[in-house]
Amino acid sequence: MEIENKDIALGALLIGIVLLAGWVGFLYVNPVTKTHTHEDEETVYVPVYIEETPDGIYGLPSDWSTAPNASYIMLYNETGSLKISLEDILKGVSLWLEQNASEAAGGGEIYAYTDALMELYSFKDPGSGLYVTGVDLLDVIEFSNTHFGYDLEFTSHNSYSPVMEATTQEIYRDIGFKDYVKPWILAIAADGKWLANAPLGFGELWGNFSVFADYTAKALYNLKQIDVTSSWEVEVLVNGILEYTINRTNIIDPYSPDGLNYTYYTDGTSNGKYPKFNFNRQYWGRNISSIINMTSAKGLDYTVKFVCFDDYTIRKNNPLNNTDINNGLTLAKYQEVNGTIGSGWPEALLPVTDQLPSLIYEERRFAETDQTITDPYWPYPKFRGYHGGPFYLIVPGWVKESYGQSIIRIEVTT
């Protein structure tokens, strides 16, 4: 399981190069898509391209001054409501394009810390045959300062098909690993025209905004509003019995309300095998020890496993024990410094310290450096939200690739 960070820098770099070069003959849409062979269930990664896309950036109209900027959707969460206009979305798209250009020029992830970033995607809608362009739906939800939403309800202006329901876990499952992104998108354009002006008369049906679950038939047209009706929770089970729940209100460490506030560095090397790859981050969250101490396992010998959004169990055959949880790893445990095949990035082992395994919801990065890119520091912390959270695990002494994103369950066995 991977946390979103420099692991996607190569993909972003490629997109930035495409934008700078003005290349429109072939549009690189999603980095790869995942398919399975029925014979042996092997995973095959296949690049996805769209040929002869309409004029404009990623299928958007060339003249943004014609955009119906005043059109909007409403988002309702546990704290209130927010009007999200097309103008807001296009500003976020502009930031995303600027960041890609910066990365292509070696400037790093200049806006990675902001929730205003809106990443663009295009795909060919199987129903209409039109090329649809929009932004990552989860980016839109995060823009509304909603970082822990779970159950979602989408309401349409169309009376004949008024509601669609989904969970962020379901959407996240479709995304899967960043190596084969299949996002749900909030569509804003089709075939180089703003959505309400879509060809073949579809504009009247689709309105200014529609939701598409890419590569599936699931869609809601002419979106009116999004309601976030529940928050993401992490269940803590002891011997199979639910004893505690982590949510957005209690993830802050009660003994350290300002967060864990620690920093780590590593050069990412293994006997000189890998080049320099420094991390410098500050985390906010809660030690796993403080979580387990809220259950009947406190003070006992136990092992603990962590389950992610897709039911993947981290280190299923090598669980942490109570000594690891309460004292930190005293040696580099289960080292796998082999690199991720095809990613171009080495796995980075965190230093062995007395820092404890923790469940994280927020982080800040300080001018991280590797052999090719130096990212500017983040001027403030950022909720990890749906592209690395909402809650994820870090274990000093484990390689980075072993971490888990979007934890849904902690299983303790005494």
pLDDT average, residue stretch 403-410: 86
Confidence of residue 179 (pLDDT cuts 50, 70, 90): very low
For residue 357, give the nearest of 320, 407, 410, 387 by alpha carbon. Answer: 320
The one-character DSSP state at 162 is -
- Based on the structure, what is the number of domains in the chain? 2
Structural domain contains residue 256: yes
Strand, coil or helix: 153: strand
pLDDT at 341: 34
pLDDT average, residue stretch 224-240: 96
What single string gives the DSSP state of each residue in 58-126? Answer: GG--S-GGGS-TT-EEEEEETTEEEEEEHHHHHHHHHHHHHHHHHHHTT---TTTT-TT---EEEEE-T
Tokens representing 75 are 């988002």
Would you say residue 277 has pLDDT above 60? no
pLDDT at 254: 61
Query: What CATH number has the domain bearing residue 40?
Result: 3.90.420
> Do 213 and 279 fall within a single domain?
no
Would you say residue 54 has pLDDT above 80? no
> Do 82 and 142 fall within a single domain?
yes
Lowest mean pLDDT among 66-70, 151-155, 173-177: 173-177
> Do 254 and 219 fall within a single domain?
no
Is the Cβ–Cβ distance between 343 and 388 less than 8 Å? Answer: no
Residue at a domain's end among 180, 209, 228: 228
> Do 170 and 254 fall within a single domain?
no
The amino acid occupying position 252 is: I
Structural domain contains residue 343: yes
Give 328-353 pLDDT, tens digit per residue: 876 554 444 333 333 444 444 555 55
Lowest mean pLDDT among 81-95, 100-114, 294-308: 100-114
Would you say residue 246 has pLDDT above 90? yes
> Do 261 and 314 fall within a single domain?
yes
Pairing of strands 369-370, 241-246: unpaired
Give 21-42 pLDDT, tens digit per residue: 332 222 223 222 222 222 323 3
Is the Cβ–Cβ distance between 168 and 149 less than 8 Å? Answer: yes
Confidence of residue 2 (pLDDT cuts 50, 70, 90): very low
Structural domain contains residue 329: yes
Q: Which domain holds residue 305?
A: 234-413
pLDDT average, residue stretch 169-196: 76
Structural domain contains residue 340: yes
Would you say residue 72 has pLDDT above 90? yes
Lowest mean pLDDT among 89-98, 301-310, 361-370: 361-370
Residue at a domain's end among 228, 254, 289: 228
Structural domain contains residue 383: yes
> Do 308 and 378 fall within a single domain?
yes
Tokens representing 188 are 């804003």
> Do 198 and 294 fall within a single domain?
no
Would you say residue 192 has pLDDT above 70? yes
Phi, psi (5° rounding) for residue 57? -75, 120
> Do 163 and 241 fall within a single domain?
no
Task: Tell me the CB-side half-sphere exposure of residue 281, using CA atoms within 13 A.
Answer: 18
Confidence of residue 356 (pLDDT cuts 50, 70, 90): confident
> Do 272 and 386 fall within a single domain?
yes
> Do 207 and 244 fall within a single domain?
no
Is the Cβ–Cβ distance between 378 and 113 less than 8 Å? Answer: yes
Tokens representing 161 are 């098909």
> Do 218 and 73 fall within a single domain?
yes
Please report how the helices 9-21 and 86-104 are oriented relative to each other, as an axis angle in degrees rounded to 10: 100
* CA–CA distance, 319 with 127 (Å, rounded to integer): 46
Q: What percent of the chain has pLDDT over 70?
A: 68
Is the Cβ–Cβ distance between 361 and 308 less than 8 Å? Answer: no
Structural domain contains residue 1: no
| Cβ within 8 Å of residue 410, ≥6 positions away | 234, 235, 236, 237, 246, 288, 291, 292, 304, 305, 306, 307
Q: What's this model's pTM, rounded to 2 decimal places?
A: 0.77
Residue at a domain's end among 206, 228, 250: 228
Is the Cβ–Cβ distance between 144 and 84 less than 8 Å? Answer: yes
More reliable by pLDDT, 245 or 10: 245
> Do 119 and 262 fall within a single domain?
no
pLDDT at 99: 86
User: Computed from CA positions of residues 158, 159, 161, 162, in that sequence, does the dihedral angle turn out positive or negative?
Assistant: positive
| Cβ within 8 Å of residue 322, ≥6 positions away | 292, 297, 300, 301, 302, 303, 304
